[in-house]
Structure 1
Amino acid sequence: MPPATAPSPAPLAALVLEHLADAVYLLDPVSSDIVWCNRPGWESLGLGREEVLNHSVLSLQMDVSGAPHWNEIAAVIRSAPCYTFIGRHRHALGHEVSVEVNTTRFFEGGREYFLSVARDITRRTALEADLRKRENQLWFALNEAMDGLWDWNVSTGEVFFSPQLKRMLGYGPDEMTPTLSSWSDNVHPEDAAAVQRLLTEHVQGRRARYEARYRLRNRSGQWLWVVDRGRVCERDARGAATRVVGMVQDITQERAAQEALARSEAEQRALIAALPDIVMRLDRQGRHLYVSERIGTLSSIPVAQMIGRTHRQLGLPAALCDELDAVVHGVFSTGLPRESEFEVDTPLGHRTISWRVVAEQEGPPEALQSVLAVCRDITEQRQAANELARHRLRLEELVAERTEALNVAKTQAEAANRAKSRFLANMSHELRTPLGAIIGMTGLARQRAADTTQSDQLDKAAQASQHLLQLINDILDLSKIEAERMALEAGAFQLGPLLEGVSQLAAHRAQEKGLCFAVMLPPALAQQGLMGDALRLKQVLLNLIDNAIKFTQEGEVRVEVGTTDTAPPGCQGLRLAVHDSGIGIDEASCERLFKPFEQADNSTTRRYGGTGLGLAISRELVRMMGGDIQVHSQPGQGSVFEVQLALPTTQPAPVARGPARAEGLRAQLAQAHAGRPVLVADDDPVSREVAAALLRRAELAVHLAADGEEAVALAARQRFALVLMDMQMPRLNGLDAARRLREDGLNRHTPIVALTANAFDDDRKRCLEAGMDEHLTKPIDMAALYEKLLALLPRG
């Protein structure tokens, strides 16, 4: 057969074009008409050949991808050897076909043509979109998953570490070298050999898969517990591994939880072993799942033989089994604890056993798989309870007898206390009334004294009276403290004026004994506003200073004031220390000083005098203020009495200063209220005279009444600017007289001041409840009287 010859190129090209899978179009460059196309050209559009030929690509909407205008496309085709773009052709059935179009131009017979080949890439486009979606999903999973991915190319040694794995170890995206050593170098030395062995066995095919739990060091040097799992995914023709892929999970917290659980279980086992009780776990059939070793105190059956058996199978009496099963079934039915007691014979004899069963876990009863039972031997407890009941009955009888005796004693004690209170109240009144007259008359006589001898004698009489008044006050203060009736009155004050007044009173006594007296007070602290009972604080300081002067024969007495840093917010910590160079006190006697009627020893009382009340009262007053008094002393080296307390701070209050305070108040009173009528009601003629003299010095018009009835009668005829009323008077006492004045009449709104020898707080309260406005105690303090009058007398 002769050799084959190649066919003519033109028929061959036509045959090839006709059988191509791609659509081929011959276009007029000017009109964009399709002058020729192959079969796929019209079939890909869902049209017939005649519906495509001589029709413009624009009229056929062959490109719906938003391509430029035809003239622009033609210009691009002419400027390049081949123009390629991805577009979409509209099918006659309405759907779109993705195509890749390659267009070039050529000339035939002197005419220009565009040859376009359109390949259907719809499936390819869909596959590419799906691939991109899967790649995005994988990338998202690698970035967001809690586990880290590694991919080891065994041939090159390169390792890919996922972003999450790097974050797990504290590294940035570009900080870990993609090598096996950057991983293995961070494995804990104690775990490295085991990890390497497991990985090698898997790579060599001796282990189905690789899994290891080990410690891995992160970027900051901390050790993380991880579980590392991997598998060979590619091998070469010889079977050698070429690629291994794996995941790493951080189990540090899980490991810590497991270790904590193991410790907890060990502790529970130790606790159960240490308990005197027997602990069991039973299932719904009553079979023993667990029994503690202490069961040996009740049964000779070994623990191993009890597991999986019921009480009946262990040979317990049928009645006892019924009772125990009922408790167990009750817990399984309700989920609520049940308990009972039963008697049983044991190796230790006949015993009483408490049996308590509880659900092992929370949830609905039908979900319960097991219950816990706790057995306790309560034989001795029951015996003790019976014995205790017998003792309780006897004790109740004794308590009833004792209670009756205590009630009698309480009634007697309360009666004695009431009698004591009445006695002290009467004694206060009976002592203060004549003492007030003595002090008042002495003061008036002192103002009219003709020579220095008389003045000196009257001063000594006044000092003796003040000493007696202090003694009375100490006894009354102690009584109030013991009866818990002492109350502090808080007000604004400053340490500067307070200590100035203390110094004026104490400096004279120190000078008489030839002692130096000094007060050391920081200027800033002197002006600090404080809230507290200034009068009681002054009483404490005067007590301490008087004692220091009394027991110091030469040298000095000084007061040092400082601060402490232990006060709460809003308060000022104070330290007020009274130093002396006196006889001193031994350590054994220091604490006894603060007990009522106690001094260092009897010889001190005989030599220096005193009742031993001042320090006891001072310490109680300071403790009521929230502080305390301490003493530091040695015989022959002087003493330091230190007051420490904290007082709230406030704005400084204006304080009158100087020894002429009473005279200044008197002048103010005379200037503002001269001639105003004031009624004085007092049954003691000397007290009336003293009060009248003090009021007349302030240029007030004084009217006198000897009892309450006379005071009410005078008040019914005249309006007074103010009434001074004694509490205890014949015919009508001061309280009832005040109530009568408040009922109706000319003096219904007139200020009434109780001027009485009754010095208890209850007396003041009774006066205010009766309608009085203020309360002053005898002996009359001139400055206090004038100050009250200035505050109460109406202007005009």
Structure 2
Amino acid sequence: MLLTVGHQSLLVLLGTAGGLAFSIGAWHRASRRARALAAEVGTVQAEMEALRDETWALAEREERYRDLVQSQGEVVMRRDLLGRLTYVNDIFCETFDRQRPEVIGAAFVPDLPEGEKPRLLGSFAGLALPPYRIRFDQRVMTARGPRWFAWEEFALRDEEGKLKEIQTVGRDITDRKETEERLAIALDEAQAANRAKSQFLAAMSHEIRTPMNGVLGMTDLLLDTRLTPAQRSYAEAVKRSGEALLAVINDILDYSKIEAGKVQIEEAPFDLRAMIEGVCELLSPRAFDKALEIAAEVEPHMPLRLIGDETRIRQILINLAGNAIKFTKEGGVLIRARLESHSYTDDLANIVIEVEDTGIGMEADELEVIFEEFSQSDQSHARRFEGTGLGLAISRHLVTAMGGTIDVESEPGRGSAFRVRLGLGIAEPAAHQRAPLRGVRIVMLCDRPVLAASLGRVASLAGAGVRLAATGDEVVAMLREESADILVCPVDTAEGPGADIVARARGEVPDLAAIVLLRPQDRDRLPALIGQEAAPAIFPALFDGYLVRPVRASSLIARIEALAAGERRAIARIEAIEQYTEEKAQADASPAGPSSEWGIALNILVAEDNDINALLTRTLLERDGHTVRVARNGSEVLDMLDKPEPVDIVLMDLHMPGMDGFEATRLIRALPDSRSSLPIIALTANAMADDRQLCLSAGMDDYLSKPVVPDALARTLAYWSNRRSPLGHAAVSGDDGLKSGAIPF
């Protein structure tokens, strides 16, 4: 068709084509712009979508924060640097009954109940230094009345670290405060009840000990007179009953002191071996009354002196061994101490003290309760053994206070074994071990297994060759088989007198030396046993020496060592003469003469309002040769000190009508002359540790508790007989006595 057109048509066609080409270019440009615009729109839409998402997340966070703040139930507010509120939460509005518009931009200080100490909320005080926050409790007035709040304020800073606001958060702690107040009131009431209990125990101790002092003291005086056998039996029964009652009182007082946390553990060097042997000797009369043996055994490697509370350890052992004697019908009790481990670098010894008996034993369920307060293995109404059930509880508390442990093993019918483990310091290590009895051959006749085993181990550890025989026939058979150097024999055996067995043994070994084992009450038989019927004339000796049960290890070794060295007859003679002389001197001593053992006769002023105790104290003192005057109260004491009769020492009761002992002591110390330096000794039925310290703090020089122990009284008087009190203002300085509170025994 183009071929048929003319030239003009061709031009038109070319022009149309050019316009079309131009239009296509513009379209392409417009299309590019449209695409760019669409891209920009997409970007804007994406940004808008991201912004919507961020706005939604921000709103969600804000809602979550708002819910968190509101759900905490805490008052939240913010202040600017001028103290004006910039924000409060709904809890604030509810708590203080305020509307948000009325408080924003204004200062806020809560109203306080009457008497409440004001605190300045939002004061910036204490916020300048780390941790940039302060806390305090305050009671404020709210829409619900007075409420306690725990306020916490902290500083808010901008990006440059400049302080811009203070945020305060308050938590309602009224319930906690009321609980604390109730607990404080309950604690005060408990402490008041504890004080009342302590006062009651102290008062009851005083009221019981005062008549008990008379009962036991007068019984002792009665036993010192001539009595028929029946009368002596009755008097001894009264004394035993009084001592049992006193033991109950002491247990209750000890428990009350432990319960109140007033037990103090002292540390000082002491001899463990001597202490354990002393416990055995103290309890031996009780054991011998039941035909039981009691023995001590301390291994040779034990340090000579340890560091600890000797008094408390002795108390524990007396409790344990006393119980063992009470619950044992036959056999005996053994107190054994052994060294479990030691460190000379740390000067520490871990020791185990065992108290074993051959008593009735206990079931497994009984072992679970015996250390509890007021518990006994037999709780039935038909129980055979009396007691408070406090002894073991007290022992456990004391052992724990010393950082140790206590446990028990027992089996019905086979006895019990209590073990106390303690870590004690070493004051003096064990001595060099030697074998003083090496080569000595010993035969021990003893039908008491506890005693025989203990003595046999002691002699064996000292180097002796020991054979144990239960009967006289076994002794003879052993000597026929092999000779021996020494025979140890009880004064009485199940077969008859020990002297008869010694005679049979010497039929086999003529030069056999013999040692007799005696109870303390058998001493009157000693002259006949060792050839001293009419001392000092010498008769053929049945025995060459004696040992009093319970036997100390050192005494056993020394006696055997001396006999083995050939000092047989000399020992017998010396022992017999010493024993005879001692008993004769005691029998010939005049009751009215002064005691040569404890010192010279003194002029003593006794302040005592109880007639019986006054009579007892006067009798004890006059029996030792002292001159005694009695005052019934503190006023009479001062009146008597104004008289010309001399006074060397004052024995002062605490509780007396009118003027008591404390006031009288204060007035004596204030006297302008030498009377202010008179030794004043408290003689009281109060037995608590605080009572002793109270007496010493009041100006008294010493303290004796009732019931009065005559020997303790005599020792104390002898100590102060040549001293003046350092507490009087007229006292001579220097070595004129010890410091206040020095106890001479």
The answer to whether the 8 Å contact 1:670/1:700 transfers is no
Residue 427 of structure 2 is aligned to residue 650 of structure 1: yes
Structure 2 residue runs without a partner (length 5+): 1-43, 77-90, 92-148, 151-169, 430-551, 556-578, 725-745
Residue 543 of structure 2 is aligned to residue 543 of structure 1: no
Bigger Cα Rg: 1
1:707 to 633, 637, 650: 633
Q: Measure, in 2, the Cα distance between the counterparts of 1:560 and 1:396.
A: 60
**Equivalences for 1:629-648 in 2 at 5 Å?**
629-648=406-425
Which residue in 1 is equivalent to 2:684?
A: 756
CA shift for structure 1 position 476: 0.8
Q: Measure, in 1, the Cα distance between the counterparts of 2:710 and 2:50.
A: 99
Change (3 A) 1:411 1:487: same
* Alignment-mate amino acid for residue 699 of structure 1: G
* Alignment-mate amino acid for residue 620 of structure 2: L
**Aligned-residue CA RMSD (Å):** 3.9
1:742 to 662, 669, 693: 669
CA shift for structure 1 position 385: 5.2
Which residue in 2 is equivalent to 1:494?
A: 271
**Equivalences for 1:231-246 in 2 at 5 Å?**
none
Secondary structure of residue in 2 paired with 1:748: helix
Which residue in 1 is equivalent to 2:651?
A: 724
CA shift for structure 1 position 386: 5.6
Which residue in 2 is equivalent to 1:532?
A: 308
Residue 385 of structure 2 is aligned to residue 608 of structure 1: yes
CA shift for structure 1 position 630: 1.0
Which residue in 2 is equivalent to 1:555?
A: 331
CA shift for structure 1 position 474: 0.5
Change (3 A) 1:710 1:494: same
Q: Measure, in 2, the Cα distance between the counterparts of 1:516 and 1:672.
A: 33
Which residue in 2 is equivalent to 1:683?
A: 609
Deviation per CA, 1:717-753, whole angstroms, max 9, x where unpaired? 3442211111101111111111111001442111111
Which residue in 1 is equivalent to 2:341?
A: 565
Q: Measure, in 1, the Cα distance between the counterparts of 2:703 and 2:722.
A: 18
Residue 436 of structure 2 is aligned to residue 436 of structure 1: no
2:620 to 690, 694, 700: 694
Q: Measure, in 1, the Cα distance between the counterparts of 2:377 and 2:657.
A: 46
Deviation per CA, 1:287-331, whole angstroms, max 9, x where unpaired? xxxxxxxxxxxxxxxxxxxxxxxxx9x9699999xxxxxxxxxxx
1:585 to 359, 362, 366: 362
Which residue in 2 is equivalent to 1:511?
A: 288
CA shift for structure 1 position 400: 2.5
Deviation per CA, 1:454-495, whole angstroms, max 9, x where unpaired? 333222211111110000000111111111122344444312
1:476 to 231, 253, 269: 253
Secondary structure of residue in 1 paired with 2:355: strand
* Alignment-mate amino acid for residue 513 of structure 1: K
The answer to whether the 8 Å contact 2:594/2:601 transfers is no
Which residue in 2 is equivalent to 1:351?
A: 61
CA shift for structure 1 position 766: 1.4
Change (3 A) 1:399 1:564: same
1:576 to 329, 347, 353: 353
* Alignment-mate amino acid for residue 596 of structure 1: E
Residue 399 of structure 2 is aligned to residue 622 of structure 1: yes
Change (3 A) 1:396 1:671: same
The answer to whether the 8 Å contact 1:531/1:648 transfers is yes
* Alignment-mate amino acid for residue 657 of structure 2: P
* Alignment-mate amino acid for residue 439 of structure 1: L
Change (3 A) 1:692 1:648: farther
CA shift for structure 1 position 594: 1.1
CA shift for structure 1 position 383: 7.4
Change (3 A) 1:706 1:523: farther
**Equivalences for 1:192-211 in 2 at 5 Å?**
none
* Alignment-mate amino acid for residue 60 of structure 2: H
Change (3 A) 1:558 1:617: same
Secondary structure of residue in 1 paired with 2:352: strand
* Alignment-mate amino acid for residue 325 of structure 2: I
CA shift for structure 1 position 681: 0.8
Change (3 A) 1:672 1:449: closer
Structure 1 residue runs without a partner (length 5+): 1-311, 321-342, 354-376
* Alignment-mate amino acid for residue 631 of structure 2: A
CA shift for structure 1 position 395: 6.2
| Structure with more relative contact order (C-alpha pairs < 8 Å, separation 6 or more) | 2
Which residue in 2 is equivalent to 1:786?
A: 714
Change (3 A) 1:482 1:671: closer
Secondary structure of residue in 2 paired with 1:351: helix
Deviation per CA, 1:436-466, whole angstroms, max 9, x where unpaired? 1111111111111334333332222111111
The answer to whether the 8 Å contact 1:345/1:351 transfers is no
Deviation per CA, 1:132-191, whole angstroms, max 9, x where unpaired? xxxxxxxxxxxxxxxxxxxxxxxxxxxxxxxxxxxxxxxxxxxxxxxxxxxxxxxxxxxx
CA shift for structure 1 position 696: 2.4
Change (3 A) 1:383 1:531: same
The answer to whether the 8 Å contact 2:608/2:652 transfers is yes
Secondary structure of residue in 1 paired with 2:60: strand
Q: Measure, in 2, the Cα distance between the counterparts of 1:546 and 1:318.
A: 90
Deviation per CA, 1:487-522, whole angstroms, max 9, x where unpaired? 344444312332222112323323333333322122
Change (3 A) 1:515 1:675: closer
The answer to whether the 8 Å contact 1:344/1:350 transfers is no
The answer to whether the 8 Å contact 2:609/2:656 transfers is yes
Deviation per CA, 1:559-598, whole angstroms, max 9, x where unpaired? 1111122678223322111112222223333231111111
Residue 241 of structure 2 is aligned to residue 464 of structure 1: yes
Change (3 A) 1:645 1:476: same
CA shift for structure 1 position 413: 2.4
Matched-pair identity in %? 37
Change (3 A) 1:619 1:444: same
**Equivalences for 1:296-375 in 2 at 5 Å?**
350-351=60-61
CA shift for structure 1 position 649: 3.0
Change (3 A) 1:774 1:489: farther
The answer to whether the 8 Å contact 1:719/1:747 transfers is no
**Equivalences for 1:134-213 in 2 at 5 Å?**
none
Which residue in 2 is equivalent to 1:406?
A: 183
The answer to whether the 8 Å contact 1:678/1:702 transfers is yes
The answer to whether the 8 Å contact 1:709/1:737 transfers is yes
Q: Measure, in 2, the Cα distance between the counterparts of 1:700 and 1:728.
A: 24
The answer to whether the 8 Å contact 1:757/1:779 transfers is yes
CA shift for structure 1 position 638: 2.0
Change (3 A) 1:672 1:463: closer
Q: Measure, in 1, the Cα distance between the counterparts of 2:260 and 2:609.
A: 30
Q: Measure, in 1, the Cα distance between the counterparts of 2:73 and 2:54.
A: 19
Q: Measure, in 1, the Cα distance between the counterparts of 2:406 and 2:669.
A: 46
CA shift for structure 1 position 388: 11
Secondary structure of residue in 1 paired with 2:722: coil
TM-score (norm 2): 0.52
The answer to whether the 8 Å contact 2:408/2:417 transfers is yes
* Alignment-mate amino acid for residue 648 of structure 2: A
Which residue in 1 is equivalent to 2:698?
A: 770
* Alignment-mate amino acid for residue 609 of structure 2: D
Change (3 A) 1:495 1:783: farther
The answer to whether the 8 Å contact 2:634/2:664 transfers is yes
